[in-house]
Structure 1
Amino acid sequence: MQQTPRAERLHIVLYGRCNSGKSTLINSWTGQDIALVSDTPGTTTDPVVKAIELPHLGACVIIDTAGYDDGSGLGEQRVSRSLRSMEQAHIALLLVAAPLVARGEDLGLERAWLQELKGRKIATLVVLSQTDRVEQPEVLLAELSTRLGLSDMQALALSAHTREGISQLKDALPRMLPEDFGSQTITRGLAERGDVVVLVMPQDQSAPKGRLILPQVQTTRELLDKGCTIVSCTPDTLAHSLASLAVPPRLIITDSQAFPSVYPLKPEGSLLTSFSVLFAAYKGDIDLFVEGARAIERLTDQSRVLIAEACTHAPASEDIGRAKIPALLRKRYGQSMTIDVVSGMDYPEDLGQYDLIIHCGACMFNRAHVLRRIARASNQQVPITNYGICLAYLTGILDKISY
C-alpha cells in the first residue's frame, strides 16, 4: 500500500448552495485544481472526493458536494447524495455566500442543514464566503452568526480569490478534530511487543490475486509497528505452523470463515479472534455487536435479515456475506427466511422491517460512518452485529474468542 487508506483519513465535507464557492475554496485552500469551478449553477453533481495530505491534519479526504438548492432535473438526487455524504463526515464546512447575506435573503436552507449536521453530531464550521464581493464582511459575519444562532458553533469569513481568511481556516480545523480520532488500534491490548501472533489467512476466490485483503494488510502493519513476531499461514498449514513454534503464540487471528477448523487447533493459553471481530471493535461498537448476535437465536424461517457490505466488489461464489452467512442461517432456521443484501453507500432509512442486521468488517468505511449506521439501527430498535461476531456465534465459540 502506497498511501493511507481512505477509511483511515480525516473526512472533511463542504456544503452550501450552488455557487457559494465550495469548489473555489477547495482549490485555493489546497493549492490544487481539485474541483471544477464554474459560474453555472449545478456544476458539481455527484460528490467529488479527493485524498490529500494537509499540514496539521495529516491524511485527509475532502468531499465537495452539490449545492443543496439545486433545482435542476436531477437536483433531488444530487441533494440526496450530499445528505448521504454526512455519514462519512468528521468535519463539515457550511458555506454561505456573503452577497446572499448582504441582500438579506432567507437562510432557511442553511438553518435546516445546520440542524441536520448537529443532529448527526458533526463538528461544523460556518464559512462566510466570497467576502471580496461585499463591503464590511466582518459586519456581515456577525449578522450571519446572529441569524443562524451560532452561539455554539464556529464561524469565519474568507475569500478564496484573495486568500484572505484561508490561514484562519487552516488554524481552525485542527481544533475541530473529534477527540477519539486516530486513537483506536486494531489489536488493542491483545498483543504487545515481543508477542508471537499467528495470522491464518485463507486465499479463496474473494481474496484479490497476488494481494492480501485490506484488514490483513492493516493488521500486519500494526503488529509490526508494535514489535510483534508474525507467523502467517493458511488454515491447512496451521497445525504445522503451530508445531514449529517453541512456545504457543500469544494470539491467533483468523479469517472468520475458518473458525470451525482453527478453534480445535488453538493451544490452551493462546487467545483467538478474527480479522472481522477486530474490525468490529476498531470501526464500531463491539459490545453492541455482541449483544446483537444474541438476536440470532430468536430468528425463525419468517425472519427478515439485512446483510450490509461496505465494499462494492463483484460477489464471488464463496462470498461470505452473500453466500456463506445466508446459507448458514437458512440451514439453521429454514429456507424461507428473507435475506436482503446492500453494498457500498446503500443502507435503508427504514430498518424497522428487519429482525437483524449483519454488517461486514467495514474496512472500507471510517469509524464515524459505521457508528452512525449502528446508531440508526439502535434508534429503530433493530439488533445489529458483525460478520465475525455472527460466525463465532453460529460456530458456538462467541464466549471463547477475544475482542
Structure 2
Amino acid sequence: MSKVPLSERKHIAFVGKRNVGKSSLVNCFVGQDLVIVSDIPGTTTDPVKKAMELLPFGPIVIIDTAGIDDISELGEKRVNKTMQIISETDFAIVVLDSQSHLSNEEMNLIELLNKYEIPFYIAINKSELGINYKLLEELNFRKLSFSLVSCKTGKGIYEFKEKIANLIPNEEEPPLISDLIKQHDIIVLVVPIDLGAPKGRLILPQVQTIRESLDEDAVVIVVKDKELRSALSILNQKPKLVVTDSQAIMRVNADVPDDIKVTTFSILMARHKGDLTEYIKGLQRIEELQNGDKVLIAEACSHHPQEDDIGKVKIPRWLRLHTKKNLEISFSNGHYFPSNLSDFKLIIHCGGCMLNRKAMLTRIKQAKFANVPIVNYGLAISYMHGALPRALEPFPEAKQVWELFQKKIPSFHQL
C-alpha cells in the first residue's frame, strides 16, 4: 500500500474556519503529530498532505488546509489555496466548532462542495466544551450528517474514523488497459527515447500500462519506435494491441498492419483519468479557432522545459500549422487553472498523470462552467496528425462520438 502513487489514492481534505481544530483532528485521524497545533488562529498556512492506509478502506491521502475565514492580505491567498485544494478532493470533512453556528463562509463552502459533487461529512469538534444546540438544529434542518468529536478527550474519534472509512466513495475507476486485453494476449508498447524522456526511467503512464497488462497475464513487449517493425516481424502471432507515445503515432501507424489496433498512452490516460468522449467533443473547437483567439495549454505538473518541449513548443507549432491562424497561446503549470478561464476558446491539457481522477474531472467541470471546450495533449496531437479515428478503434463509445464530430453536427458541444 505504501507504494501506491499519490495520484492513485483517494484524497480526503479537512476544511473549515480557523481555530475549529482541523489540525488537531487531522493528528487524531492519522495517529501522529503530523501538523503543528496552536490556539493562535491561522497556524496552518499551506496545505499539508499525508499518505496513509485507512482500514478497512485502503490507501488514502489526508490533507490539512488553512482556514476559510482568514481576511488578511496573506490570508486571502491561503483561502484561495484551500478552495483550489477542493478540486483534487474525493471526500471532504467539514470541521465545525461545537459552540458556534453555521457561518456564511461555512455555507459557501458546503455550496462549493455540492457544486463540484464532492461528498462530505461534518465533524463537530471541541464537544467537551459544550454543544450549541442551535447548530445541531441547523444541520438537521439542512439534512446534513455529522458526528460529535473531541480531540482533547478522544471521545468519538474512533467511531468517527470508522464512519469516514465507510463513507469514502469507492467506485471503480475506469481501467487503463485491463478491459482491452486478456490472458496471453501480446501487447506491444512503443516507448521513444528522446530528449523528453526522463533519464534512467519510464514515465508514469508507461509504467502503469506495463503493470496493468502484467496483472492481466498478458505478454508485454516494450520497444523503441525504431525497433517496432523488427519486433513485429519476429512475432509468431499478431499483437492484440499496440500502444505508443502520441508523438510517434504516425510512424507507428505506418509500421503496424491495419488489422492490428493502435492507440496511445495519452488516450488511455484520457479515459482512465478524465473523460475521453468530452475531449473528443473539444476537437471541434480546433476547427473553429480564429485569428486572435486565446488558447490555454495546461500542465498539471511543473518541469523544466526541454529544447523542443511538447507543451511549450511542439503543440503550439502544430496548432498554428493546422489552423493556419494567428493564435494567442498561454501556458499554466500546476494543479489549478488561471482565474480568467472564460477568456480562452480552447484548453489543451496534459494527460494528468500526476493528478488523481477527481482533480481531472473537476478541471473538466471548471472548463464546462466557463463554457470552454477541453481536449488533452494526446488526442489533440493524434487529431492534428491524422491518426484519428484509428487510435480510437479500441473504444467503441468514443468512436461513435468521433463519427458525430465528423458529421459536423451543429449541436455537437451539447451532446
Q: Please indicate the TM-score interval, normalised by the length of the shorter structure.
A: over 0.9
Aligned to 2:119: 123
1:270 and 1:127 mapped to 2: Cα distance?
54
2:352 and 2:141 mapped to 1: Cα distance?
35
Q: Is the 8 A contact 2:298 2:348 kept in 1?
A: yes
Aligned to 2:165: 174
Q: Is the 8 A contact 2:54 2:165 kept in 1?
A: no
Over 3 Å counting, the alpha-carbon distance change for 1:112 and 1:279 in structure 2 is: same
Aligned to 2:90: 90
Write the letter of the residue equivalent to 1:130.
K
Q: Is the 8 A contact 1:248 1:267 kept in 2?
A: no
Q: CA RMSD in A?
A: 1.8
2:324 and 2:294 mapped to 1: Cα distance?
12
Give the deviation of 1:62 after TM superposition: 0.7
Q: Is the 8 A contact 1:28 1:161 kept in 2?
A: no
Moved more, 250-259 or 373-382: 373-382
Write the letter of the residue equivalent to 2:99.
P
Q: Equivalent residues in 2 for 1:281-320 (5 A)? A: 281-320=271-310
Moved more, 80-89 or 118-127: 118-127
2:134 equivalent among 121, 138, 143:
143
Give the deviation of 1:178 after TM superposition: 2.6
Could you give the per-residue CA deviations for residues 35-81 of structure 1, whole angstroms, max 9, x where no partner exists?
11111111100111111122122111111011112233411000010
1:400 and 1:127 mapped to 2: Cα distance?
51
1:371 and 1:38 mapped to 2: Cα distance?
35
Aligned to 1:184: 174
Aligned to 2:129: 133
Q: Is the 8 A contact 2:124 2:147 kept in 1?
A: yes
Write the letter of the residue equivalent to 1:40.
I
Q: Equivalent residues in 2 for 1:3-402 (5 A)? A: 3-101=3-101, 107-134=103-130, 137=131, 140=132, 143-148=134-139, 151-178=142-169, 180=171, 182-334=172-324, 336-402=326-392
2:210 and 2:3 mapped to 1: Cα distance?
16
Q: Is the 8 A contact 1:196 1:250 kept in 2?
A: yes
Over 3 Å counting, the alpha-carbon distance change for 1:164 and 1:128 in structure 2 is: same
Could you give the per-residue CA deviations for residues 341-362 of structure 1, whole angstroms, max 9, x where no partner exists?
1111230233222221111110
2:85 and 2:187 mapped to 1: Cα distance?
37
Give the secondary structure class of the aligned counterpart of 1:329. Answer: helix
Aligned to 2:409: none
Q: Is the 8 A contact 2:37 2:43 kept in 1?
A: yes
2:236 and 2:145 mapped to 1: Cα distance?
58
Write the letter of the residue equivalent to 2:123.
V
Give the secondary structure class of the aligned counterpart of 1:121. Answer: coil
Over 3 Å counting, the alpha-carbon distance change for 1:400 and 1:362 in structure 2 is: same
2:225 and 2:105 mapped to 1: Cα distance?
56
2:116 and 2:327 mapped to 1: Cα distance?
33
TM-score (norm 2): 0.90
Moved over 4 A (4+): none
2:357 and 2:173 mapped to 1: Cα distance?
11
What are structure 2's unaligned runs of at least 5 residues? 396-415
Give the deviation of 1:95 after TM superposition: 0.8
Aligned residues: 393
Give the deviation of 1:269 after TM superposition: 2.1
Give the secondary structure class of the aligned counterpart of 2:155. Answer: coil
1:158 and 1:3 mapped to 2: Cα distance?
32
2:141 and 2:238 mapped to 1: Cα distance?
58
Give the deviation of 1:299 after TM superposition: 2.2
Give the deviation of 1:314 after TM superposition: 1.2
Could you give the per-residue CA deviations for residues 182-228 of structure 1, whole angstroms, max 9, x where no partner exists?
43210153212211000001122222211111111111111111111
Q: Is the 8 A contact 1:301 1:333 kept in 2?
A: no
Q: Is the 8 A contact 1:14 1:63 kept in 2?
A: yes
Write the letter of the residue equivalent to 1:363.
C
1:307 and 1:73 mapped to 2: Cα distance?
30
Q: Percent identity?
A: 38
Give the secondary structure class of the aligned counterpart of 1:315. Answer: coil
Give the secondary structure class of the aligned counterpart of 1:249. Answer: coil
1:164 and 1:2 mapped to 2: Cα distance?
29
